[in-house]
A and B are shown apart, each in its own frame.
Chain A
Amino acid sequence: DIQMTQSPSSLSASVGDGVTITCRASQDVSNSLSWYRQKPGRVPELLIYAASTLESGVPSRFSGSGSGTDFTLTISSLQPEDVATYYCQKYNIAPWTFGQGTKVEIK
């Protein structure tokens, strides 16, 4: 099975900072890669699908890039409401594996 490795596992940044999270697949997943933001006790919120397509209603400070095995989620200007855990997921074929998560905090 394809493994998904996210880094870093946690980060702390100031409001207004740019933040980058990476996700690496152990094999090619084409562009079938999504990113989620999950706040405690809440359903994961889809931010990006097809590696770089912004989900409707998601703020434009979020962007995704990459294809094949290496992907990036960027938050251009971190906001207090972005405190959450972020997950990548590959979904081209089963299993629809998730990364282990990146916890984002405010300094």
Chain B
Amino acid sequence: EVQLLQFGGGLAQPGGSLRLSCAASGLTFSTYAMGWVRQAPGKGLEWVSSITRSGDYTPCTDSVKGRFTISRDNSKNTLYLQMNSLRADDTAVYYCMAKYYDASGPLFWGQGSLVIVSS
């Protein structure tokens, strides 16, 4: 059974930092592109960033450029999202996602991590 188990999140002050982790099991991690999706309160789903199998391509949405960094450690089967210079509008539930590298097969989601940015 595939599991994406998320860690991190919580309350941060504006301008602060948080790191999210997503530990994968039940799949061959190095064959999956990974990503982060968020959902602000009462809003729809928004793609945040993704990373290729090797980590050599890491696009992100414009609103987080220069502030958020996605990375992965294939030896630990773990995905990360480093969030710096947090703003109130980053408040959301963050989900990690796994997509097989050639886009075949189902997509998998983590359980979500709540991030609240508030003073």
Give A contacts to B, CB under 8 Å: 30, 32, 34, 36, 38, 43-44, 46, 49-50, 53, 55-56, 85, 87, 89, 91-92, 94-98, 100-101
Q: Are B44 and A32 in contact (CB under 8 A)?
A: no
Q: Are B46 and A96 in contact (CB under 8 A)?
A: no
B9 interfacial contact with A, CB 8 Å? no
B47 interfacial contact with A, CB 8 Å? yes
Q: Are B59 and A94 in contact (CB under 8 A)?
A: yes
- Inter-chain CA distance A101–B43, complex, in Å, is 9
User: Which listed residue, A91, A96, A101, touches B44 by the CB 8 Å rule?
Assistant: A101
Apart from A87-B45, A92-B103, 12 more pairs, CB < 8 Å: A43-B112, A44-B95, A46-B107, A49-B106, A49-B107, A87-B44, A89-B107, A94-B47, A96-B37, A96-B99, A97-B47, A98-B45
A-B contact pairs, 26 of them (CB 8 A): A32-B103, A38-B45, A43-B95, A43-B111, A43-B112, A44-B45, A44-B95, A44-B109, A46-B106, A49-B105, A53-B106, A55-B106, A56-B106, A87-B45, A91-B99, A92-B103, A94-B47, A94-B57, A95-B59, A96-B35, A96-B37, A97-B47, A98-B37, A98-B44, A100-B44, A101-B45
Secondary structure at chain A's binding surface: helix, strand, loop or mixed?
Answer: loop
- A32: nearest chain-B partner, CB-CB: B103
Give B contacts to A, CB under 8 Å: 35, 37, 44-47, 50, 57, 59, 61, 95, 97, 99, 103-107, 109-112
